[in-house]
């Protein structure tokens, strides 16, 4: 697991460290880390600095100082000369660093425009310099132009090949593209309590993924119920059922109007035309392709009242948005995972806005449910305040039907008894991996993503377990 801390928490921790270490020592440790990585990644010995008005610029200037001491030719553009970090600038100049109007002929640019204090779009002069960069960029702390707490971009921004950050990771490092992220220890760890966000690693997902044991049979591992699809949209049922079948061993029951289609594609699924005779399950997936008519509402009421965890996706979310009374069917103890994309979120709660973490938390709180807000960076919030982030490395999953696959994965992990937040987090991670594996550089339909689920699970499972 990788923890991420918001800038307010980072500043509070930094203040506590600064109270007991000599002034400037934190910045010099940070800057030494920047210089070390710069030497490693730069293709040549000419490095340029973009220096903003605050300590982020100070880091860059001190890094320039260390690089000069290693014989590197370093030039710096001061975006706001009167406010440039005075000690850093003096040291940089003394070591032979040059202050210039524009960076030309450099092998690497160190972006020290703005870090923790970055808000809103890049200032026009900074944007102008960034627009003319033609060398790879190493970002100090975070790529300038990206909001460090939300990852939101409001206009031109630095595209970093590598980001060197200090003390701990910040939300931007999981929510947006920061290139290769390197963490430099500046002694913050003892001052940091639990993180604000968590990113699951492959090993976490592998450790949590349900595996049958010697005493298991098809019932003991949790039976997944799928209430999805319709005469108009049978494919959603086929995809969601397939994902549930491929994600875990045991059994999947399908109930709905697409029973024939599901049976034809997945002979192992236990299919019935009606939710009323579906039989017992340990979790329900409801919504993909289900429709929003009276019959669909009745299906949703039935699953919410079933006393088992529910993954409510797609049309189920639309129905809950259109008719909030449907929530009354839910037993308060029934865990619900809602999986909206932005438009569904808008129907349910209102505009997502720039802060996707805050948006997911708002909905989790309002509905007392785990809310998985889909996207390139998927944010998953639990009503108790825990938040997971899962950023895709490619966008191949943005294809029709891939959400149906995700809901099937979540349902099967809920049925297996995983904590609903972990179920959603593990499913999101395997979904992203399956998309990557299936696509391998070319577009894929959702059924190809589905077929790659076994390979994705193999990729996360520990090697030692058969
Ligand atoms: N604290 C510590 O112990 C340590 C801190 N460290 C370092 O300090 C950094 C934080 O430094 P900081 O707080 O001085 O602010 P910083 O990010 O440099 O911003 C400077 C000014 O930029 C401006 N600005 C705002 N938005 C902007 C935008 N979009 N585009 C352009 N400009 C924008 C805004 O000024 P404005 O233009 O609004 O007047 C703001 O005041 C941190 O990221 C890390 O690198 C490390 O050395 C480790 C120890
Ligand atoms: N740009 C993107 N990069 C990576 N994944 C994405 C991107 N856009 C969407 N996705 C993922 O693709 C899936 C789409 O789900 P959804 O919108 O419900 O599709 P559908 O309703 O067609 O099944 C989600 O898992 C989402 O996180
Ligand atoms: K920066």
Judge if 138 and 257 occupy the same domain: no
Asked whether the beta carbons of 200 and 1 are under 8 A apart, the reply is yes
Model confidence at 43, pLDDT cuts 50, 70, 90, reads very high
Domain count, the chain: 2
Residue 73 is part of a domain; what is its CATH number?
Answer: 3.40.50.10260
Tell whether 183 and 234 lie within a shared domain: no
Name which of 378, 422, 376 is nearest 397 in CA terms.
376
Q: H-type helices in 248-341, by residue range?
A: 259-265, 294-304, 315-322
| 358 carries a ligand binding annotation | no
Contacts of 458 (CB under 8 A, 6+ apart): none
Q: Which ligand is nearest to the CA of 56?
A: 1
- For residues 146 and 144, what is the distance between their CA atoms, to the nearest angstrom? 6
138 is in an annotated binding site: no
In a domain, 190, yes or no: yes
Going from the Cα of 182 to the center of ligand 3, the distance in angstroms, rounded, reads 13
56 assigned binding-site residue: yes
CA dihedral 324, 298, 336, 379 (to 10 degrees): -70
- Out of 116, 121, 184, 192, give the residue to mutate to test ligand 1, the one with the largest number of ligand atoms within 8 Å of its CB: 116
User: How far is the C-alpha of 94 from the C-alpha of 100, rounded, in Å?
Assistant: 15
- Of 150, 166, 195, which closes a domain? 195
Confidence of residue 308 (pLDDT cuts 50, 70, 90): very high
- What is the C-alpha radius of gyration for the chain, rounded to an integer number of angstroms? 25
For the four alpha carbons of 434, 436, 437 and 443, in that order, the dihedral sign comes to positive
pLDDT at position 79: 98
What is the token pair recorded at 146?
Answer: 């990206």
Residue 302 annotated in ligand binding = no
109-132: per-residue pLDDT in tens? Answer: 999 999 999 999 999 999 999 999
From 234, 341, 391, give the residue whose CB has the most ligand 2 atoms within 8 Å, as the site to mutate: 341
Residue 404 annotated as lining a ligand binding site: yes
Question: Is 291 a member of any domain?
Answer: yes
Counting from 1 in the atom list of ligand 2, the atom nearest the Cα of 378 is: 27
62 lines ligand 1 (CB under 6 A): no
Q: Is residue 466 part of a domain?
A: no
Number of helical (H) and strand (E) elements in the chain, helices listed first? 17, 18
pLDDT at 307: 96
* pLDDT tens figures, 445-456: 999 999 999 999
Q: Is 377 annotated as a binding residue?
A: yes
Residue 276 lies in a domain: yes
Paired strand residues for 387: 381
When pLDDT is averaged across residues 333-348 and rounded to a whole number, the result is: 97
Which ligand does the CA of 117 lie closest to? 1
For residue 39, being part of any structural domain is answered with yes
Please give the pLDDT value at position 157.
Answer: 96
Determine whether the shortest distance from the Cβ of 378 to ligand 2 is under 6 A. Answer: yes
Backbone angles phi, psi at 140, to 5 degrees: -85, 120
pLDDT above 70 (res 6) = yes
Quick check: is 408 in a domain?
A: yes
- Do 49 and 183 share a domain, yes or no? yes
Could you tell me if residue 23 is inside a domain? yes
Which of the listed residues 143, 172, 195 is the one where a domain comes to its end? Answer: 195
Decide whether any atom of ligand 1 lies within 6 Å of the 335 Cβ. no
What would the pLDDT profile of 192-250 be if each residue is shown by its tens digit? 999 999 999 999 999 999 999 999 999 999 999 999 999 999 999 999 999 999 999 99
Range of the domain at 98: 2-195
Provide the pairing of β-strand 180-184 with 197-199: unpaired
16: pLDDT strictly greater than 90: yes
Residue 374, ligand 2, Cβ within 6 A: yes
Question: In Å, what is the CA distance from 95 to each residue of 31, 52, 89?
Answer: 15, 20, 10
Q: Is 397 in the pocket of ligand 2 (CB under 6 A)?
A: yes
Ligand nearest to the CA of 315: 2
155 shares a domain with 14: yes
DSSP conformational letter for 159: -
Residues 239, 337: one domain? Answer: yes
Ligand index nearest the alpha carbon of residue 160: 3
**Which protein residue has the closest C-alpha to ligand 2 atom 14?**
403
| SS3 (DSSP) at 148 | coil
Of the pLDDT bands very low, low, confident and very high (cuts 50, 70, 90), residue 134 is: very high
For the chain, give the mean pLDDT.
Answer: 96
Residues 357 and 381 in one domain: yes
pLDDT for 462 equals 82
* Both tokens assigned to 263: 């049976």
Q: Could you tell me what percentage of the chain is helix, strand and coil, using 3-state DSSP and rounding each to the nearest 5? A: 40, 15, 40
pTM of this prediction exceeds 0.90 = yes
Token pair for 397 = 């999953």
Residue of 51, 118, 138 best suited for mutating to test ligand 1, as the one with most atoms within 8 Å of CB: 118
| 177, 195, 213 - which closes a domain | 195
Residue 465 lies in a domain: no
Task: Note the pLDDT of residue 195.
Answer: 98
Q: Give per-residue pLDDT as tens, 59-98.
A: 999 999 999 999 999 999 999 999 999 999 999 999 999 9
Taking alpha carbons only, the member of 351, 300, 335, 313 closest to residue 415 is: 335
Give the separation between CA 79 and CA 276, rounded to whole angstroms: 68
CB 30 near ligand 1, within 6 Å? yes
326 and 388 in a single domain? The answer is yes
Tally Cβ neighbours within 10 Å of residue 443.
10
CA of 51 to the centre of ligand 3 (A): 9
Q: What is the pLDDT of residues 360-409, one digit of tens each?
A: 999 999 999 999 999 999 999 999 999 999 999 999 999 999 999 999 99
Q: Identify whether residues 175 and 259 lie together within a single domain.
A: no
The residue contributing the CA closest to ligand 2 atom 13 is 403
Residue 144 and residue 102 share a domain: yes
Q: Is 206 found in the same domain as 191?
A: no
Res. 466: pLDDT tops 80: no
Whether residue 120 sits in one domain with residue 147: yes
Tell whether 261 is in a known binding site. no
Question: Within this chain, do residues 210 and 185 fall inside the same structural domain, yes or no?
Answer: no
Site to substitute for ligand 1 among 54, 64, 65, most atoms within 8 A of C-beta:
54
DSSP 252-278: EEEESTTHHHHHHH-TTSEEES-GGG-
Residue 208's CATH number = 3.40.1190.20
Q: CA dist 360 to 273, 366, 373, Å?
A: 34, 10, 6
142: helix, strand or coil: coil
Within 8 A by CB and 6+ apart from 357, the residues are 150, 171, 175, 197, 379, 381, 387, 389
Q: What average pLDDT does this structure show over 133-154? A: 97
């Amino acid at each position: 697991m990788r923890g991420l801390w918001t800038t307010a928490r980072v500043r509070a921790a930094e203040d506590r460290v600064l109270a007991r270490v000599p002034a400037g020592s934190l910045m010099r440790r940070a800057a030494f880390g920047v210089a070390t990585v710069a030497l490693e990644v730069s293709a040549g010995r000419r490095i340029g600095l973009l220096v903003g008005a605050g300590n982020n610029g100070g880091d860059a200037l001190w890094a320039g100082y260390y690089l000069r001491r290693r014989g590197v030719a370093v030039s710096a553009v001061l975006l706001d000369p009167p406010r440039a970090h005075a000690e850093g600038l003096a040291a940089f100049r003394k070591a032979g660093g040059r202050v210039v109007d524009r960076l030309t002929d450099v092998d690497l640019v160190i972006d020290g425009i703005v870090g923790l204090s970055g808000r809103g779009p890049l200032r026009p002069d900074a944007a102008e310099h960034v627009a003319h960069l033609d060398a790879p960029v190493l970002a100090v702390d975070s790529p300038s132009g990206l909001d460090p707490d939300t990852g939101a971009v409001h206009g031109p921004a630095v595209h970093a090949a590598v980001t060197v950050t200090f003390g701990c990771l910040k939300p931007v490092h999981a929510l947006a593209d920061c290139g290769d992220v390197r963490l430099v220890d500046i002694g913050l760890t003892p001052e940091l309590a639990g993180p604000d966000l968590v990113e699951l690693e492959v090993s976490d997902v592998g450790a949590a993924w349900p595996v049958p044991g010697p005493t298991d049979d098809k019932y003991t591992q949790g039976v997944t119920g799928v209430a999805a699809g319709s005469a108009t949209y049978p494919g959603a049922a086929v995809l969601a059922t397939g994902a549930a079948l491929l994600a875990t061993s045991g059994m999947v029951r399908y109930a709905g109007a697409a029973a024939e289609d599901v049976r034809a594609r997945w002979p192992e699924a236990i299919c019935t035309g009606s939710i009323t005779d579906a039989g017992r399950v340990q979790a329900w997936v409801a919504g993909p392709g289900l429709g929003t008519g009276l019959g669909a509402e009745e299906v949703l009421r039935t699953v919410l009242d079933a006393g088992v965890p529910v993954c409510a996706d797609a049309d189920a979310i639309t129905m809950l948005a259109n008719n909030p009374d449907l929530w009354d069917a839910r037993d308060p103890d029934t865990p619900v995972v809602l999986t909206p994309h932005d438009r569904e979120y808008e129907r349910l709660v209102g505009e997502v806005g720039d802060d996707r973490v805050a948006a997911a938390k708002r909905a989790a709180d309002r509905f007392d449910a785990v809310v998985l807000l889909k996207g390139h960076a998927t944010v998953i919030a639990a009503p108790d305040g825990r938040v997971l982030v899962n950023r895709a490395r490619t966008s191949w999953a943005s294809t029709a039907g891939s959400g149906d696959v995700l809901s099937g994965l979540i349902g099967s992990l809920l049925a297996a008894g995983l904590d609903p937040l972990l179920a959603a987090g593990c499913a999101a991670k395997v979904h992203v991996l399956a998309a990557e594996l299936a696509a391998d550089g070319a577009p894929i339909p959702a059924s190809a993503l589905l077929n790659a689920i076994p390979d994705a699970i193999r990729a996360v499972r520990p090697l030692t377990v058969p």
